[in-house]
Amino acid sequence: MTDLRLSSRRVALAAYRRLGSLGFRIMGPDPRDVNPNPDVPPWTPLPETPARLCVVCRWQGAAFEQPGHVELTICPQCGSNGRDRFLFWCLRERVELSPALRVIECSPRMGRGYRDAMSSWFFYRTTDFDQRAHRGNLRLDLQSIDLPDACVDVLLCAHVLEHVPDTDRALDELRRILVPGGHLLLQVPVLQGHTAPPTEPEFHDDRTPVFWRFGPDLTDRLRERGFQADLLCTRAFADAVKADISVWPDWSPEFDVPGILAGARAEDLVVVADAVQASQFGLEPGYMYVTWDCVAPD
């Protein structure tokens, strides 16, 4: 298994570089980003339709662009990719939404249209560490957040924690600024079974260094730092973990799917998208879609 993981890491680096060389914007905002309708907030029921549906902007159509990869399954209207939609769906499913919510999103990938819509629905602010790739309203270091205790209801943090050297310190700070009962919805690239630093220098396509490659064992780390943590997933992923069998005959080379399935525990998983929803929202294959719901205890 060690050799497989080392090989997977090398293949992952090559795959990401190859995607970048082909012009895919893996981490950056898509220039086609348009404003979701601010008059239709995310707590409004979704339309019943057999078509593909973007839960962010409510586009409906025959297919997302380049289906089959979390980073490349793009909504042709708002530019959201699969992980954007899954994070937004987890927000809908796990948080009691209202205009009074104080929401902070760390380095959001989506552009101005999305941010304007979020600001119309919530008291919404964005943050970035160096104001380079993802400029925000606030410049914050997650290892030392310059905000008071218990001042935020919801934190959205997608593909940021892997770029932070001191994971425990960042988690302590994120928990500190959450109100009791507040939610941290956390996404990181889960490419392997167990958390470890990269075996060689690794960067995402905005040249941000990667300090940690996380696995499903992040659940334990979150609980050790005081969160009540569930790992949100699709039905396909939960079923594969329970059966300990990969239902995907082929998988994208940057993902060590056998290692991920072996490292995940069925009792930690909460299904938030069934098979129909995963297909409709473009959340396939299931091993690419996990998000932690971390609740600050009362």
Q: What are phi and psi of 5, to 5 degrees?
A: -65, -40
User: In the predicted model, is pLDDT for residue 22 greater than 90?
Assistant: no
Number of domains in the chain: 1
- The boundaries of the domain holding residue 39 are 2-44+52-295
Percent of the chain with pLDDT over 90: 72
Domain CATH for 258: 3.40.50.150
pTM metric for this prediction: 0.88
Instruction: Report yes or no: 238 and 271 within 8 Å, Cβ to Cβ.
Output: yes
Closest CA to 218 of 196, 195, 191: 195
Mean pLDDT, all residues of the chain = 87
**Which carries the bigger pLDDT value, residue 266 or residue 208?**
266
Pair of tokens at residue 77:
């209207």
Q: What are phi and psi of 281, to 5 degrees?
A: -90, 0
Distant-in-sequence, close-in-space partners of 262: CB < 8 Å, separation ≥ 6: 193, 244
User: In the predicted model, is pLDDT for residue 257 greater than 70?
Assistant: yes
Quick one: pLDDT at residue 65?
A: 93
Mean pLDDT of 219-241: 98
Q: What are phi and psi of 297, to 5 degrees?
A: -65, 150
Cβ-in-10-Å burial (0-12, 13-18, 19+) of 144 comes to exposed
Mean pLDDT of 47-71: 93
User: In the predicted model, is pLDDT for residue 86 greater than 50?
Assistant: yes
Task: Name the percent of the chain in helix, strand, coil, to the closest 5.
Answer: 30, 20, 50
**Which carries the bigger pLDDT value, residue 27 or residue 229?**
229
